[in-house]
Each structure stands twice: as C-alpha cells, then as structure tokens.
Structure 1
Amino acid sequence: MTVPGVLRAALVRRPRHLVRLFLWSFAETAPSFVSGLAIAHALDDGFAAGRPSVGLGWLCILAGAWIAAAVGARQTLMSIAGIVEPFRDDLLGYVVAGTLHRAAGSGRGPDTAAVARLNRQVELARDSFAAVIAVVRSFVFSVTGVVLGVLSLMGSILPLVLLPLVGGLALFLMSLPAMAARQRRAILAEEGTASALATMVDGLRDVRACGAEGRVAARVGRTVDEQARAATGLARLTAVRTLSLAVGGWLPILLVLAATPSLVRAGATAGVVLGTLTYIAQSLTPALGSLVQGVGVNGVRLTVALERILSTGARPSPAAPGEHGPSSPRTPGGRPAPGNATAPSGHGPRPPREGLLRMRGVTFAYGLGAEPVVEGLDLTVRDGEHLAVVGPSGIGKSTVAALAAGVLRPKEGRVLIGGVPVDALDRGALSRVRVLIPQEAYVFRGTLEENLAYLAGTPGRREMDAAVEALGMTGLAARLGGYAAEIDPGTLSSGERQLVALTRAYLSPARLVLLDEATCHLDPAAEARAEEAFARRDGTLIVVAHRLTSALRARRILVMDGSRAVSGTHSELVTASPLYRDLMGHWEAPAPAGV
C-alpha cells in the first residue's frame, strides 16, 4: 500500500462527494472569472463613459458572484468533509489493527509511539488531506478563471501573467523534496519525544526509587532538543515558499505595470489594465499563496504522516503471542480460540511440573549505572507455599514479581522455577508454568468464556462454574449474560476486570501464581475471598500485598527494605524487622487507653 494509492482510493471510493465538490467549486471560484471583467466593463463602459447605471450594474454582477462564492464555499467544505472523515476512520482502523496485532504477535506491550500515531498523526493526516484538497481545487479553478478572464480582456497580456506563475511554481516544486525530508525529520523527532515522555511517565516510580532523575531528565531533554532543531530547520524553508510566491504572485503585477505604456499603444484601455491587475491581486496571488502554504506545509505533512502510518501500522507476520498468555490459535475474528492450547514448542528444557521458585543472588537495576532496586536477593518459595510481599510504595515489590515471572531478566543471579532456569523456557512453556496478573487487569473483546478459558485450554463447564464460584464472580457472570455473552471491556469497572483476570488465572494450568496488587480494586471482603481461593488451589501463590491483611493470610512474608529483603512469619517479622513492625503499626490503629 503506497501513499498515492491510499489517497487515490480515498477519492475514488466517494465519487458522489467528489462530483459534488467539482460542481460547487464553479460557484465558489466565480469571482475569479467575473472580478476582472466586471471592473473593466464598469470602468470603460460605465463610469468612464458617463453611464453610472451600467457601471453599477457590473458591480452588482460582481456582488452576485461573491454571494454565489459564499454559498459554494459552505457546500465545498461539506463535500470535503464527506471525503476526509471516512478517510480518517479508515486510517484509524488500520493503525489500531496493526498496533494490536504487532503487540499480540511480538509478546511485547504496545509501542508507546502508537500514542503519537493514533492521537496526532491520524488527525494530522486527516486535516492535511482536507487542506490539500481545498487549496489544490481552489488553485486550479482560480487560475482557470483568471486565464479565461485575461483572454477575454486582452490576450497579449496573458504571457505577462502566466510566465512568472510557471516560474514560481517550478521553484516551489523543486523545493518540495527538501521540505519532505525536513518534515519527516520533524515528525520522527516528535514521535521520539512522545515515546520518551511516555516511557518516563510509566516508570516514574522506578526512576524515583533508583535515584535516576538526572539521567532520565537528560535523556528526555536530548529528544526535546532534537525536536526543536528539526522544527527550526523546517522553519528555514519558509524563505523558499516566500520567494516562490513573490515570483509567481507579485512579479506579474510589476510586469503588467511596466508594460502598461506599450499595452495602451496596442489598444488596451484603463479598464483592461485595472481588470488585469484585479485578476492578479484578487484571485491569482491569493490562490498561489494558499497553494504554496497548503502543499508546502500540509501536503508534505500528509505525505510524511501517511508514510509513517503505513510503515508502522501494517500487520506483522504471525509471531509468538503475549508474555502473559499461552500460544493459542485464533478465531476468525482474531480472538483466542478457547478450545485449544498449544503444545510445547519442542525447544529448550521441558516445562517443570512444580511451582518451586528459587532466586539466587538476584540483582536488578533499571538502566546502566542506576542503583539496584533488588540486590543479591536469595529467596526460596516451596511448591504449594503462600508468600506475601510487602514494603513501602516504590521499593521494588513489583520488580521482584516480574523477575519471578521471567518478564524481567536479572543483571546478576538466577531465577528457577521447578529447578529450570526461567530464561531457558520459551514463552509457551513459561506461560504454562506461571501466570502473572498485574494491577491493571486485561480483558479483551470476546465472550466471557473466551476470556476465562484463554489460559486454560478446554475447561469443562463444571470446572468453570467452580472457578467462578470460588472467586466470587457468579453475580458478575449473571449480569453480563452468561459465558456466551460478548464483553465490552469499556463497560466493566476496574474491579470487575480484575475478577475476570483472577478467574482466568485460577483456571490456568500454571502452578505458580503471582498476583501483583491484582486485587487492589476489590473491596476487602472480595479480596479476601479471592486470595483464600488461590491459597486453596493446588500450587504456589505469591501476592504483592495491597493491604496488609494479605500478609496476615500468608504463611510467610517477604519484607522489601530498600535493596535488602527479609522473610519470615508474621510473629517472626514483628520481632526481627523494624520496617515490618512500622508498617503494621501504621495499619493497626492503637487500642484506646484502658481497653
């Protein structure tokens, strides 16, 4: 798919609006043909000849042309909207589909630059396309009207008008490649700034925890500086546009004025000269200025934006699915097929059959030279054990969960599940060994059954009913309309999405379950029910605690204290860990005196 092909398709697919635009353009550009003639005849045949009524009559004709132009302008804008709004919808659908397919196929999260493409570049392409249609159409009709008008006045004047116009257009067209290159650089720089800012915002907590504010600020500052340099370089090319307009729009006026004596000797009247100058000043110069501005800015923006959209929005070839889910076949609509689970790929070691987690000397830092968030962590979580991870916000609890799940790879040390190194397992095998539910639960469009069975292969109805009952999701399932009901994620609350994701994890075959504040949007009773259900489930449970009641329900607790960590039971930690004692003191209000 090419840029010209996309634009041609957008025009051809809406022929009714295109024909309507063409017809109303005659009305909008009527003054381009009438103005010079009306001025010339009003002067020569009316006022100069002592017949003011004739002169006023021609001026009334000119006024009528302007009224027709006003009506035509409104109708042409509506016709342009009928072309560009569907064009915008097509682009938006193309980019959304490509971004989601790429995210699902690569196993990574969506590209952060997709935010710029969706919210900036699609709108930029729509607005630029509308502007280009408007100015090109106006220029063609206006120049045609001027040429016909000058010919009707005095044909020998036409070369004085057309030759500078052709020269100005040639100069402008020669500058377009450089403009496109500068505009492309500006858009790429803008994307880089958007991506850097989005990454910084997403990681603010970790940046703060690592003390990397200066380095991150310097990195983002470099992208901002690059965008500023690109914008400055683009602005310098306005001089070329100004020169093109001077040659094509203002030079004809000088030539006509300089040639006036010879034109008068050849029979030109004052009305002919004034009418010609009216054509140039009122129609030709504004039309050329709009063309230079519209194509020089909006045309180049349109081309570059479409190139970026087409290159980054295309659907990738099939690849491995997401990190947190198995390699599932897809339904014709792109949804995971709930009735199948992918077999092991055959590469690497066989997936372990137990949920034993070992972390040996694990150290992790976000970026080179940053202070470690986790340093030298040794942790063993036995198969079937229930561990809670607690600590102040930003201390590294989610980092430990991501390391245990294999989402992050340690800088030093090893992470093993069932005795098998996490980094030795492919995505499909890893997804059958562990399941990680983050704070922001993901629910996709599809049936409730497809959402719940996504990680489970082919669970029976009795098994699904038992999971829904255990997690306290019976009421939500009934309200949604049962397992066959289509889900719109946008209509679910954050807590309801967490219930769906928790039930999905409960049904999965993974023996190691990691809940990273996955119940934070549930009320305390619903949170307790969910955690108790996972505790009864066969396998290992690790909970990054949102409330300290989660720690009291666990058999063992890991307290994160800076880059250090200490584990034990509740009673052991109250004695051995000042931080844990402090956390529990903040959570447990002191009893009133005398009680």
Structure 2
Amino acid sequence: MNRQLPVAEPRAVRRAALGLLRLDGRAFAAVLTLNALAAAAALAGPWLLGRIIDTVRRHGGTAAVDRLALGVLVFALAQLLLARSARYLAHRFGERTAARIREGFLDRAFALPTAVVERAGTGDLTARGTADVEAVATTLRDVGPELFIAGLQVLLILVVVLAVNPLLGGCGLLGLLAVWGVTRWYLNRAREAYLAEGAANSVLAEVLAATAAGARTVEALGLQQRRLAACHEAVEACRRTRTRTLFLRSVLFPVVDVAYAVPVAAVLLLGGILNAHGVVSVGTVVASALYLRQLADPVLAVLFQVEQVQSSSASFARIEGLARPAAQAAPGGAAPADDRIEVAGASYAYDGGPDVLHGVDLTVRPGERLAVVGPSGAGKSTLGRLLAGIEAPHTGTVTVGGVPVAELGPEQLRRQVVLVTQEQHIFLGTVRENLLLAAPTAGEAQLRAALAVVGADWVAELPAGLETELGPTGYRPDGAQAQQLALARVVLADPHTLILDEATALLDPATARHAERALAAVLDGRTVIAIAHRLHTAHDADRVAVLADGRLAELGTHDQLVADGGAYAALWDSWHGTHGTHGTHGTHETAAGAAS
C-alpha cells in the first residue's frame, strides 16, 4: 500500500514563502510600490467625477469642468502605466521565484531516500513536481500581485469613502461584514479540502501510471477488471474531493455577489434622503456610490484570489513537505572510518509484515568479491537493499566504517555504495548525455572505454555514435542495451562498493559473464557484492553467502561450500550437472533460475 509523502505545516509554508520573498526583496518591494501607486491613482476618478457634478450644479463654468476632466484622464493614464509596469515586474519576479521552487523541488526529490519514494509511489511525486509546482508558480506570478492590488484598493476605497462622508461610508462597512463572515467560514475549511484533493490526484496519477506501465502484465494475468476497479475507485475519490472544494466555492461567491450590491443601494437610498434635507450634495452621494460600486471588483478579486491562494498554499505545503524526509537522510553526517561493511543481527520486515531477514551477521571485507545466492524469496534482494542503505534494519545494524549505511547523506552514500538492479532507466537525450550523468567531466576516451568494458560495441554502429538521440523520437535501445548503458554509468561513477542485484539478467550468458568479469577488473581493489542469478558468478567470487528463509545458512569459498555438501553444494551440483549434460541455453537458464 502506497504511503503519501509528508505535507508541511502552515507555519513552515509561511516561513518558506517569506524566505522566497527575501531572496528577491528589491523586486518584490518595487512591485508593491508600483501597485500601491496604481491603486491610489484609481481613486482619483470617482472623486473628480463628484466634483464635476457639483461644479455643473453650481454653474461653475466649462473651464473648471475641463480641468477636472483632464485630471480624470491624467490619473487614468497614470493608473494604466503604473499597473502595467507593476505587472511586468511581477511576472519577472514570479518566474525567477518559480524557477527557485522548481530547482528546490528537484534537489529535495533527488535527496529523498529511495525507500521513501518507492513506498509513496511515483504518482505522488509526479503530481507534486508538475501540478503543484505550476500552481505555486502561477500564484507567485499572477495571483499574488493581483491579490495585493485588490486588497490595497479595498482598503483605500474604504478610507476615501469614509473621508467623503462617514455616514455613507458606514454603509460600505456594513456590507463587508457579510463578506467577512462567509470568508472566515470558507478559510476554516478550504486548506484541508484542497489537501485532500491534492492527495486524491496523487493516488489517481499513481494508479494510472502503474496500470499503463504494467499493461502487458495486466493483460497476461487477466487483471483488467481488477485494475479498472482500482482506477474507478481513484476517480471516484477525486470526484468527491473536487465536489467538496466546489461546494465551498459555491457558498462563497453567491454571498459576495449579494453583499457588495446591498451597500450601493443603501448609499443611494440614504444619500437621496440626506440630499433632500440638504445634508450632503449630489456629487458626494454619487462619489460615495461610485466608490462603493468600485469596491465590488476588488472585493471579488480578493475573494477569488484567496480561493486560488488556498489551493496553491495546499500545493506549496505538498512541495515543502519533501523537506522533512530529505533532511532526515543525513542526520549525523559522520564519515566512515574505513570501507569495511558489517551486518550485525540484522532483521527486516516490510510495512509491519513478518520478518524477511532474521538476525543476519555478515562482514564484507574491503576489496572482496562476495556472491549472495539462495532460492527465490530467501531475502537476497532485501539484504542488498540494506547493504545499499535503501532500507534500515528494524533490529541490528548495517554499517560501513562504523557508520550506519542508512544514515549516510546522499552524496556520501553514492561515493560508498551503488546498487545496480535489472530495472534501469534511459533518460531522454543523447548517449553521451546519459553517460555524463555519472561523470560530468568525463572525456571522449573515458566514455568509449566505459562502453567497451560492458561490451556495448553497438554504440559505435549508431548513426551519430555518442551523439545519437535516445527515446521515442530517436533510437530505442532494447533491455540488454539499456542495461549496458547503466553499467557503463557505474564504471564511470567508480564507487567503492558495487552491489549487483541480478544486474545482468537481461544479457545473454556470454555477454553477462564478460560484463561481470570486466566490472570486477575495473573495480579491482573495490568491494563487489553480487546477488547471483547464475552460479558461475558465485564460482568466480572470493566468498559465497547462502541465504535460506531469511537467514545466513552458509558462508565460505566456492570450493569449501561444495566440499561441505550442504545447500550450496546441492545448488551447484544441480546447475553444473544439468549444464554439463545438456549444454543448452534454455536448460542452463532453468537451472540458474533455481539458484536465484
């Protein structure tokens, strides 16, 4: 069962947002200043229009009216220029800040422990890195500045309308009380609703991705109905959460539509009565009504943007939530004293299930070639994950140089241990770019030498050689070729300890044997731990560890274990005898599979 990645608390989200603002403080201050000036310029129009009405009623002459009309035009142009300048700066600020968020997200995602990502599933991580990042970027670029402008306009309009006439201005305040009440009701429920919607989207993305990736398996095993049911369940969860957020919006906006119209009607009614008694002028009533009518747009904008901010703040919380497991990846930062790997009383169970490893004790000497063999389900791959620091034992320890492997920071861990499995990834780009991921400064000769080590001679025959594009629109390497590229990256990375978990399973026996021996030669003086898929790997190793039912059953050299006549000897006799008698590729594979 997948586990959702953590979500940051509101305080952490606010702290992260303020940190982003401080990184580009001058630009943000300029945006605020220009927006404030634009909002102030917008206030001149209704006041000047009120003065025009009063001047006409007093027969003040066309010259005075023309001067006031010119003022309306000047302030309108000033507002336009200031608003456009503010929007330009806001977009530049937003894009720079969005780039920082994307870069930070990638740094955190790469720093996540592999086990955390596997348990969460790629759907959650993908949703956070795409939809959530885009939502936050949009808020920074568009929503944030517009919210500030609208909020400032609301404040200034209320101040001005109260200054024009306190009694008429009070009508506007009464109308805002209803808006304030429904907004508080909305804000108290919105964050959790949007977080639930984001989580449901992540689950749906994971279910769809897993179904698409395993389409052939689903078809072969007749699991179509089961996968369809899982997809329907995920879609239904998305529908429920989106219906909830839609309900919140459907309550918020209709109340606001009514709330902003009532004050205008009240001002016109009360203003007419006061004007009839000579208390206020017609121009004052018109200016107050226009101000309150003008209040509607920024109030609606504030509420609409608040709704967007609630959605994006939930997205920001999901992005910032990656900081916690990333920070936990390297708590101590202690450096290993040497390269000796010690497994002491290590036991492990997946997600609260029964133990799959039971009290394993094992010492791997620096520079040793150790083969781990045993029947399927014996715990070989789990032991490899513990040795690679992907998982930590729930009892016992797995250390390198006296430091728990699982507590090493990502960079330090990669310098110590690299786990290579048969599941390898080829990135979009050229062959050269795929190889340079492991060694960015490697030259042409180094790249070709690494390819030669793993037997990837086919690269030289590609139309553009190292510059050949890989992927759907370029050359598509088959499984064996993809694995060779992955092994070439390992050669370039040159780690101290290399764990091969059936890493050559997709290669034919001759190529796999060449690649394994070549890797051992390149990593001479390094530690090589091979989860053996074919028993010739165990034959070539310095020592062989035999696992059975999650326990270390035997440990010794190939010759010693064969002479002892135990579990390994039985495996070897079965494989060697069958292989020697029949010598066929298919029979060889069957016997080798029994040993894995």
| TM-score bracket for the superposition, by shorter chain length | 0.5 to 0.7
2:231 to 220, 223, 244: 220
Alignment of structure 1 residues 472-483 onto 2, 5 Å: none
Residues 41-93 of structure 1 deviation map (CA, whole Å, 9 limit, x = unaligned): 22221377373453344233222222222211221113323443343233323
CA distance in 2, matches of 1:7, 1:23: 19
Residues 513-571 of structure 1 deviation map (CA, whole Å, 9 limit, x = unaligned): 5424369xxxxxxx97676454788896659xxxxxxxxxxxxxxxxxxxxxxx97998
Range moving further from structure 2, 117-126 or 307-316: 307-316
Residues 262-319 of structure 1 deviation map (CA, whole Å, 9 limit, x = unaligned): 22014323222222222122x2100000001110x21211321222222234344656
Does the 8 A contact of 2:91 with 2:142 survive in 1? no
- Is 1:359 the equivalent of 2:375? yes
Does the 8 A contact of 1:45 with 1:51 survive in 2? yes
2:375 aligned partner, one-letter code: M
More helix by share: 2
Change (3 A) 1:568 1:158: same
Q: Which residue of 2 aligns with 1:306?
A: 316
Does the 8 A contact of 1:25 with 1:76 survive in 2? yes
- Is 1:242 the equivalent of 2:227? no
- Is 1:440 the equivalent of 2:440? no
Gaps of 5+ in 1: 321-328, 363-402, 410-423, 452-463, 478-488, 520-526, 544-566, 578-595
Does the 8 A contact of 2:453 with 2:515 survive in 1? yes
Q: Which residue of 1 aligns with 2:344?
A: 346
CA distance in 2, matches of 1:298, 1:433: 43
Residues 318-347 of structure 1 deviation map (CA, whole Å, 9 limit, x = unaligned): 569xxxxxxxx9999xxxx9x964512223
Q: Which residue of 1 aligns with 2:136?
A: 125
Alignment of structure 1 residues 253-332 onto 2, 5 Å: 253-264=264-275, 265-281=277-293, 283-295=294-306, 297-316=307-326
Partner SS, residue 438 of structure 1? coil
2:487 aligned partner, one-letter code: L
2:486 to 494, 498, 501: 501
2:165 to 130, 133, 154: 154
State the 1:359 CA deviation: 3.3
Does the 8 A contact of 2:38 with 2:83 survive in 1? yes
> How much is the aligned-residue C-alpha RMSD, in angstroms?
4.9
Over the matched positions of the two proteins, sequence identity in percent amounts to 15
Q: Which residue of 2 aligns with 1:522?
A: none
Does the 8 A contact of 1:183 with 1:234 survive in 2? yes
- Is 1:79 the equivalent of 2:72? no
Residues 185-241 of structure 1 deviation map (CA, whole Å, 9 limit, x = unaligned): 212211221122222222222222221111011112111111111111111122332
Residues 479-503 of structure 1 deviation map (CA, whole Å, 9 limit, x = unaligned): xxxxxxxxxx99x998797545325
CA distance in 2, matches of 1:278, 1:532: 84
Q: Which residue of 1 aligns with 2:38?
A: 28
2:310 aligned partner, one-letter code: V
State the 1:258 CA deviation: 1.9
CA distance in 2, matches of 1:311, 1:107: 13
Partner SS, residue 344 of structure 1? strand
Q: Which residue of 2 aligns with 1:185?
A: 196
Aligned length: 456
Does the 8 A contact of 2:455 with 2:515 survive in 1? no
2:194 aligned partner, one-letter code: Q
- Is 1:19 the equivalent of 2:29? yes
Change (3 A) 1:569 1:88: farther
CA distance in 1, matches of 2:175, 2:519: 84
Change (3 A) 1:465 1:27: closer
State the 1:358 CA deviation: 4.8
Alignment of structure 1 residues 441-460 onto 2, 5 Å: 448=439
Residues 103-149 of structure 1 deviation map (CA, whole Å, 9 limit, x = unaligned): 34658488411111111111111212444422332233313432354
Change (3 A) 1:109 1:178: closer
Change (3 A) 1:211 1:103: farther
Partner SS, residue 222 of structure 1? helix
CA distance in 2, matches of 1:257, 1:152: 17
Change (3 A) 1:450 1:542: farther
Alignment of structure 1 residues 378-417 onto 2, 5 Å: 406=381
TM-score by length of 2: 0.63
CA distance in 2, matches of 1:316, 1:27: 43
State the 1:245 CA deviation: 1.7
Partner SS, residue 504 of structure 2? strand
- Is 1:89 the equivalent of 2:99? yes
Does the 8 A contact of 1:355 with 1:512 survive in 2? no
Q: Which residue of 1 aligns with 2:506?
A: 517
CA distance in 2, matches of 1:343, 1:49: 98
Change (3 A) 1:259 1:15: same
1:202 to 207, 213, 218: 213
1:127 aligned partner, one-letter code: T
Does the 8 A contact of 1:249 with 1:284 survive in 2? yes
TM-score by length of 1: 0.63
Q: Which residue of 1 aligns with 2:431?
A: none
Change (3 A) 1:235 1:573: same
Residues 353-379 of structure 1 deviation map (CA, whole Å, 9 limit, x = unaligned): 77585537x7xxxxxxxxxxxxxxxxx
Change (3 A) 1:94 1:56: same
Change (3 A) 1:85 1:576: closer
CA distance in 2, matches of 1:209, 1:426: 41
CA distance in 2, matches of 1:188, 1:284: 37
- Is 1:44 the equivalent of 2:54? yes
Change (3 A) 1:504 1:22: closer
Q: Which residue of 2 aligns with 1:373?
A: none
Alignment of structure 1 residues 100-111 onto 2, 5 Å: 100-104=110-114, 108=118, 111=121
1:227 aligned partner, one-letter code: C
